[in-house]
Amino acid sequence: MNDTTENFWEAFANWEEPILIEPTYRLYHDENGNPLFYSMEAVEGNYIDIDKETYSASPSNVRIVDGKLKYINTGATIRKLVPSTTGIACHSTNVLIIVDDNTPNTKWTLKTYE
């Protein structure tokens, strides 16, 4: 035998079974539970662990409620502008005109009903 053959048999004799590590699948979300992105990487931010099937499908019609994944019926989602103490300042008689805080205004925010 030559050195190459001996090196092969030595490496083969010392071969160890690889350790398979199951990846973690994560869904990152904002403070309101709206999904931001799916990832298998450890990134800073709010996330929940999900299964492989959910990760593969990557649905966008979900919300995170109390740390659990909830599917929502997208046909039943309604968004409405409502007056608020925070939000975008608009002219007091016309919501289409955005003004600064020094001008008399009504502040509006977008509320989602599911």
Q: Is residue 58 part of a domain?
A: yes
62 and 27 in a common domain? yes
Residue 59 sits in which domain range?
Answer: 23-72
**Number of domains the chain is built from:** 2
Calpha distance 21→23 (Å, rounded): 6
Residues contacting 60, CB < 8 A, separation 6+ = 35
Query: Within a domain: residue 92?
Result: yes
Phi and psi at 62, nearest 5°, equal -130, 160
- Quick check: 96 and 84 in contact, CB under 8 A? no
For residues 68 and 98, state if they share a domain: no
Averaged confidence pLDDT in the chain: 89
Residue 39, domain member (yes or no): yes
Q: What is the pLDDT of residues 4-52, one digit of tens each?
A: 888 888 888 888 888 888 899 999 999 989 999 999 999 999 999 999 9
- pTM for the predicted model, two decimal places: 0.55
108 within domain boundaries: yes
DSSP 85: E
Q: Residues 69-83: what's their mean pLDDT?
A: 83
